[in-house]
Amino acid sequence: MTINQPLVAGNWKMHKNIRETREFLHSLIKLLRPPLPCEVAIFPPFTSLPAAAEILTDSGIALGAQNVHWEPTGAFTGEISPLFLVELGCRYCIIGHSERRLLFGETDEICNRKIKAAQSAGLRPILCCGETLEERNAHQTIEILRRQLEKGLKGITSADLDIAYEPVWAIGTGHTATPDQAAEIHNWIHLWLRSRFDDAADHIRVLYGGSVKPENAMALIRQTGVDGLLVGGASLDVNTFSIIVNSFKEGQSVFS
């Protein structure tokens, strides 16, 4: 496992059909010559996962899903089992993205069940957390994060997971958290994780997400406690995404 490396993850959301997925990944493999400067993972839509898995075999680039169901099988029309994702070669699964929380009613309790199911199946969940603009302005950021982490990770004993801090006001808006804002929250999350998982917390990365671009990636990853990036819009263009990945060549990682 490569959990001692920072992670750059591309969350494609509902973008890219199978042909576009193939084109992107063939180009990405050419652009990112080994050794990779950090761990890289791509999160395509479910329909593109088989094609992506085939292309990424032996590439060193990991594959993940954007969502998962909390049961391994059953009468859950339209849902995807964590076992099916493992069968496809997925290593990761995003859980509790703010779009799922806000648009699809995903609660902390649902996130918790999904994390347990993902870990049981052998996936490494990435739990997303973050406050809205109203919550930030009302000085509730820490309170919201504490609730999302406490409830989301309730009963979880394995540290085989990562966290993504994605302030909702920064997602798709062009307003990135400043490096100082990110550092403050990431350090708080790391302290919380340490109090919860003891030494095992050293193996949990805290990624930053929200309007990450080549222009701001370096300043963000230079902050203590920022162990990687969860990139949305800027992960859809292969050149832009590779530039972000390659920022790790110069912007040294503080994760060890």
Nearest of 12, 25, 94 to residue 61 by alpha carbon? 25
- 232/251 with CB nearer ligand 13P: 232
Distance CA 211, CA 240 (A): 13
- 83/128 with CB nearer ligand 13P: 128
Out of 49, 52, 171, 206, which residue is the one contacting ligand 13P (CB under 6 A)? 171
- 32/171 with CB nearer ligand 13P: 171
Smallest gap from Cβ 44 to ligand 13P, in A, equals 13
Interface mask toward ligand 13P for 84-113; x: CB under 6 A: -------------x----------------
Greatest Cα pair distance in the chain: 49
Q: Does 162 bind ligand 13P (CB under 6 A)?
A: no
- The Cα-based distances of 173 to 95, 183, 206 in angstroms read 21, 20, 21
Q: Does 233 bind ligand 13P (CB under 6 A)?
A: yes
Q: Catalytic residue at 97?
A: yes
Label the pairing between strands 206-209 and 162-165.
parallel
Q: Quick count: other Cβ atoms within 10 Å of Cβ 11? A: 25
Q: Does 161 bind ligand 13P (CB under 6 A)?
A: no
Q: Does 232 bind ligand 13P (CB under 6 A)?
A: yes
Tell which positions 187-216 bind ligand 13P, by CB under 6 A. 209-212
Distance CA 222, CA 186 (A): 12
- 143/237 with CB nearer ligand 13P: 237
- 8/230 with CB nearer ligand 13P: 230
Q: Catalytic residue at 26?
A: no
Structure tokens at 31: 């652009």
Distance CA 239, CA 130 (A): 28
Q: Quick count: other Cβ atoms within 10 Å of Cβ 6? A: 22
Among the listed residues 69, 99, 166, 190, the single catalytic one is: 166
Task: Quote the distance between the C-alpha of residue 187 and its chain's center.
Answer: 17
Which positions touch ligand 13P (CB under 6 A)?
11, 97, 166, 171-172, 209-212, 230-234
Active site (catalytic) residues: 97, 166
